[in-house]
Amino acid sequence: MLSTDHFPRAKKYWHMGAMRDWSDLILHPMAHALHYGTSVFEGIRAYETSRGPAIFRLEEHIDRFFISARVARMNVPYGKEEILGACQRTLRENGLEAGYLRPLLYYSYGNLGLIPKVSPVELVVGAWKWGAYMGEKAETGITVIILPWRRVHHSQVDLRAKLGGIYIQSAICGLEARARGAEEALFLNLEGRVAEGPGENIFLVRDGVLKTNDLSESILEGITRASLLEIARDLGLEAVIGPIAKDELYAADEAFFCGTAVEVTPILRVIDGSDAASNPAVHSIGPGRAGEVTIRLRQAFREVTAGRNPRFERWLTFV
């Protein structure tokens, strides 16, 4: 039996139309995706509500899943409705009131030339209970570090897609950030402006106005990001989209990361390690604690995902 210490309550996963026990191993070591990162994926959360489990923006996630597959030149073996159903079934089969869903498409066993000429595309969906990505600091706030390595640029690859191979940069820099005393990394783009975290978009708040950037700044335009922009409008908060300079980040009253995993996590300090200096400067954001706008947006987001805001119930797929 495989340990599920890091996959709480995981019992089964969906693979190519069938439910399998979590300990069933299906991947050959010569599978194409293991060697070249030829996979695409989504991260999706389901939340506990008074009406049972509800998957947050499931359709939008699966729409992006198909965009990613097109970018990766994958022929998806199932249609959209079948994948929507597979996600719901996987959540049910694991008996989860709330949890994390991971659909994954990958080039499997066939050949190991760089071009997967005869490697079929396979689909798997896993589900497990997953709490706050940043642990206790998700509430109080985190320290991030700007590393010298720049984010993959939008001129190099279609950044609308969640491509498995791209995330090796995220993994390396996330490890480096933690080794250097921060909770997370923060990337600059090739132009030297603020891009995003390894798996998170960023927002600033200055004089009560929200600001985030867009695809031209070499980011994944996240679904949580888009949701917060709409929630902000509903709350009467002003939001702008545009480039973010480092100095603008340092002068912000508030800053936070957002994403499926981190949800809404305040940023309290930024270490500027962008030039690899031995004693990098540390910048406090605002008063060095979670700001009022961040807290307000986080609470509003929680109301939406818990099914307590009827204006956004359209974003929930009840299971």
Q: Which of 12, 117, 162, 246 is catalytic?
A: 162
Task: Say how far apart CA 167 and CA 47 lie, in whole Å.
Answer: 26
Strand partners, 194: 188
250 exposure class (CB count in 10 Å sphere: 0-12, 13-18, 19+):
middle
Task: Report the relative pairing of strands 263-272 and 209-212 from DSSP bridges.
Answer: unpaired
Give the residue carrying structure tokens 């031209």.
Answer: 216
- The answer to whether 44 and 87 have CB atoms below 8 angstroms apart is yes
Is residue 238 a contact partner of residue 178, using CB atoms and an 8 Å limit?
no
Nearest-angstrom CA–CA distance, 134 and 298 = 15
162 noted as active-site residue: yes
Distance CA 96, CA 248 (A): 42
Start-to-end CA distance of the chain, whole Å, equals 28
Residues 260, 162 contacting (CB under 8 angstroms): no
Contact by Cβ (8 Å): 190, 211: no
Q: Which two tokens stand for residue 261?
A: 């995993």
Return the bridge partners of 241, or none. Answer: 212
In angstroms, the CA 220 to CA 241 distance is 14
Give me the active site residues, please: 162
